[in-house]
Structure 1
Amino acid sequence: MVPTPPTREVIIRDESKTGLEHRRYRIKIHKIFKGFKAGTDKEKLYLYSAMDEALCGVKLANRKTYLIIGTVSNGRLTVSLCDRVIPWKTLPRIERRNIKKNMKLATSSCEVGCKVTSCPWEDCLPKSRKECTWTGEMERAYGVGFYRENVMCVADRRGDCNWNVGAIKKQSKKHRRRRHNHQDGRNAHHSLP
């Protein structure tokens, strides 16, 4: 979500039994990627954070735009140091573009109900059309972390969930090229007199 906090910050006493004080920001939502229902874009709502950084509170600057990855609990948007609050302008343009593109895919996949299931063997198949199976072979083929960093389980036009193969193909070409170049360099080094 990309909100811009207006000029006002209000200190409120928590409604729960803890009695802690919180910061309440009135923010304007520019774009919601995931979490609230459709139609919340361009609305103004409140964002809550603990008063003090020692209690995981986050302080936002007035009139700045942020990418906020927070928590929605009982219809209340909260953010803490455990969440992500990134000034939007500090993100490289390519990251901003990728966030917008990939969050559309992720949102549609959530609406369809795509799930990732784990299986340590090579020959596991998804049990339903709403599943992507994470196999041990995926890690062995490309290395630990490759799939986690480069692919998503997304819904296709029919509503079936699959790994986004386009990203796998692009990344695997780069991976193979890097590995090939690395091996060529290593072989050249070993063939020196």
Structure 2
Amino acid sequence: MTKPRSFCAPLLLFLVWRAGELAEACSCSPKHPQQAFCSSDVVLRAKVVGRQVIVTGNDLYGSPIKRIQYDVKQMKMFKGPDREIDAIFTGPTSAVCGVNLDINDKKEYLITGKLESDGTMHMTLCDFIQPWESLTLAQRKGMDSRYEMGCQCRITYCASVPCAISDPAECLWTDWLMENSVQGPQGRHYTCIKRNDDSCAWYRGAAAPKKEFLDIEDP
């Protein structure tokens, strides 16, 4: 009697392959624009004027290590070194968190990123990168000055109930819970700012916050 063929080996190989594929996927934790500003070395507004693939060396197997270099025209520096950034580097594919930007002389981006040891700027999909025209007035004000006022505060992400703050210096971020999106009202219109009693609260206002203000204050 002929024994049925075993599918264990092909299935195992498939699972190993899928595991390797998934391991290469880029995964990022949700980040409020204020958190992105405060944790970044560089925050700037820029146009992308060029793109090229560069080789920075070889890996252990002799394969070339590639990066994408975006040549940019800096429009404004919100946070960063006291010099102009003319190039930003990223990974070659989205699987390794590489960023894909349009080369368009009319399109401007808000880009956050890190400074590497050699002084070059690097960005990933986990950084806050948005077309400038898509930013709200509050986000633009935040990048210009307001987010910096709350860098000593902590924004606590809430994805499911129950969730609560454990310290007065925290603001509870509930956009995902309420709107099923990290681009909800708090992300688009609010800043977590420290008050004069060292507690922190959400602020929404056109003018700079008063020394004392209520949670979620409107202009």
**TM-score, L = length of structure 1:** 0.54
What is the SS of the residue equivalent to 2:88?
strand
Q: Tell me which of 127, 135, 154 is aligned to 1:115.
A: 154
Q: Gaps spanning 5+ residues in structure 1: where? A: 172-193
- Greater relative contact order (CA < 8 Å, ≥ 6 in sequence): 2
Which of 140, 150, 166 is equivalent to 1:100?
140
Contact 1:26 1:44 in 2 (8 A): no
Change in Cα spacing, 1:14 to 1:144, as seen in structure 2 (3 Å) is: same
Aligned-pair Cα RMSD in Å: 4.1
Question: Following the alignment from structure 2 to structure 1, what is the Cα–Cα distance between the partners of residues 154 and 165?
Answer: 18
Distance 1:64 1:153, change over 3 A: same
Pairing partner for 1:58 from 81, 91, 100: 100
Kindly state the Cα deviation for residue 13 of structure 1 after the two structures are TM-superposed: 0.8
In structure 2, list runs of 5 or more residues that go unmatched: 1-43, 206-215
Q: Which amino acid aligns with 2:54?
A: I
Deviation per CA, 1:119-145, whole angstroms, max 9, x where unpaired? Answer: x7889662xxxx2354xxx97xxx846
Post-superposition shift, 1:15? 4.8
Shift of 1:61: 0.4
1:72 aligned onto 2:118? no
Indicate the structure with greater helix content: 1
Q: Which 4+ residue blocks in structure 1 deviate beyond 6 angstroms?
A: 120-124
What is the CA distance between 1:19 and its match in structure 2? 3.2
Change (3 A) 1:86 1:152: closer
> Partners of 1:61 and 1:123 in 2: how far apart?
42
In structure 2, relative to structure 1, the CA distance for the partners of 1:21 and 1:5 (3 Å cut) is: same
Partner SS state of residue 32, structure 1: strand
Aligned pairs for 1:1-16 within 5 A: 1-6=44-49, 8-15=50-57
The whole-number CA distance in structure 2 between the counterparts of 1:124 and 1:87 is: 35
Report SS of the residue matched to 2:150. Answer: helix
Identity %: 18
Structure 2 residue corresponding to 1:163, chosen from 174, 179, 201: 201
Q: State the shift of 1:105 in Å.
A: 1.1
TM, length-normalised to structure 2: 0.49
C-alpha deviation, 1:101, in angstroms: 1.1
Residues 91-124 of structure 1: CA deviation (Å, up to 9, x unaligned): 2xxx4422221222112322xx223469x78896
Change in Cα spacing, 1:133 to 1:61, as seen in structure 2 (3 Å) is closer
* C-alpha deviation, 1:159, in angstroms: 9.1
**What is the DSSP-based 3-state SS (H/G/I as helix, E as strand, rest coil) of the residue aligned with 1:101?**
helix
Give CA-to-partner distance per residue, 1:58-94, whole Å, 9 cap, x none. Answer: 14304244324443152432234454543334x2xxx
Contact 1:153 1:164 in 2 (8 A): yes
Match of 2:11 in 1: none
C-alpha distance in 2, partners of 1:123/1:50?
A: 36
1:1-193 matches, within 5 Å, as 1-6=44-49, 8-15=50-57, 17=59, 19-34=64-79, 36-37=80-81, 39-40=82-83, 43-52=84-93, 56-74=98-116, 75-89=119-133, 91=134, 95-103=135-143, 104-110=145-151, 113-116=152-155, 126=168, 131-132=169-170, 134=172, 144=178, 148-149=186-187, 151-156=190-195, 160-166=198-204, 168-170=216-218
